Amino acid sequence: MIDAVGLTRSYRRNATVIPVLVGLSLRVARGEFVAVMGASGSGKSTLLGILGLLDRPDGGTYRLDGAEPPWGDDAALSAARNAAIGFVFQQFHLLERATALRNVALPLLYAAGDVADDAGRAERALEAVGLAHRALHYPGELSGGEQQRVAIARALVNDPALILADEPTGSLDATSGGEILDTLRRLADRGRTIVLVTHERAVAERADRVVTLHDGRLTGPPLPPGPAERPGRAAAADDAARAAGS
C-alpha cells in the first residue's frame, strides 16, 4: 500500500534550513495497522502530510498503491487524496459551523463526478460510528470523543483504502481515546490500511507493528511481518540500510 524510500523533507525558517525527515523509508502492506511513534517535533505530522499527499517530499520516492503520486498536478493529487485517503486529526478538525452530517459529507463534496445519495452515505457513515442520533448537532455540541468519531466517519465516508491518523487520542480522555482506538482496530481488522502516529506507547501498541521516528528516520520493523521475514527487535537496525537491501 505504502512504499516510501529515502524520503527527505526540510523546512526553511528565515535563513536556517531545518531538516525534518532525512532519508526515511517505510513500507506498509495493504490491510496493515502501523503505528509511528516519536516525540513531539520529531516529524510525525510531516510524514503523515507526505503520506497523505498534502505535502511533497524534497527527495526520495513515495509509491502509493504502486504508483508515484502525480505531484505537481493539484487536481489529480487532490482527486487521489479524496478517493484513497481518510484523515483523522488530534484536534478533530471539524468545520465548526457545519453539522456533524455536513462535516461527514465533506469528502463527498469533492468527489469526482456525480454522487448519488450523499446525505444517505454520510448518515450511514455516522451510523457506523454510532452517532446517527447526533447527525444535526454542531461540533460544539458534541463531546471530544463524539467529535473524533464524526471525524472518523468523515474519513470513511468515501471508502478510502488508507486511513492516516495523527494523534487521534491526543485530545481525549482515556475512555474516549480507548473507544477511538477500538474503532480504528476494528477498521484494521476489516482490511483497512491504517497509519497512526502517536507519542504514546500504549496507543502505538494497539497497532500490528510499531516503528519509531527518531532524528528524521524510522527505526523498528520497516517491513510488514510475513512468513518469509519476521523481524524481531534485534533485527531492527538502521532503516535506510534495510530499505536499500529490500
Transcribe 87-118 into DSSP letters: EE-TT----TTS-HHHHHTHHHHTSSS--TTH
Q: Cell for 202? A: 500504549
Largest CA-CA distance found in the chain, in angstroms, rounded = 53
Instruction: Compute the least distance from the CB of residue 51 to another protein, in Å.
Output: 11
Q: Of the two residues 51 and 211, which places its CB atom closer to another protein in the complex?
A: 51
Q: Of the two residues 98 and 236, which places its CB atom closer to another protein in the complex?
A: 98
Length of the chain, in residues: 246
Q: Of the two residues 81 and 192, which places its CB atom closer to another protein in the complex?
A: 81
Q: Dihedral, CA atoms, 208, 212, 93, 71, nearest 10 degrees?
A: -100
**CA distances (Å), 174 to each of 8, 84, 159, in order?**
35, 30, 28
Q: Of the two residues 159 and 229, which places its CB atom closer to another protein in the complex?
A: 159
Given the rule CB under 8 A, which residues bind another protein?
A: 45-46, 49, 52, 54-55, 74-75, 78-79, 81-83, 87, 89, 91, 93-95, 97-98, 102, 106-115, 118, 154, 158
Is the separation of the CB atoms in 35 and 196 below 8 Å? yes
Distance CA 213, CA 173 (A): 25
Instruction: Compute the least distance from the CB of residue 231 to another protein, in Å.
Output: 31
Instruction: Compute the least distance from the CB of residue 77 to another protein, in Å.
Output: 8
Instruction: Compute the least distance from the CB of residue 175 to another protein, in Å.
Output: 26
Helix (H, G, I), strand (E, B) or coil at 36: strand
Sheet holding 16-28, edge to edge: 16-28, 2-13, 59-64
Distance CA 31, CA 214 (A): 25
Q: Of the two residues 153 and 243, which places its CB atom closer to another protein in the complex?
A: 153
Q: Of the two residues 45 and 206, which places its CB atom closer to another protein in the complex?
A: 45
Instruction: Compute the least distance from the CB of residue 89 to another protein, in Å.
Output: 7
Instruction: Compute the least distance from the CB of residue 123 to another protein, in Å.
Output: 16
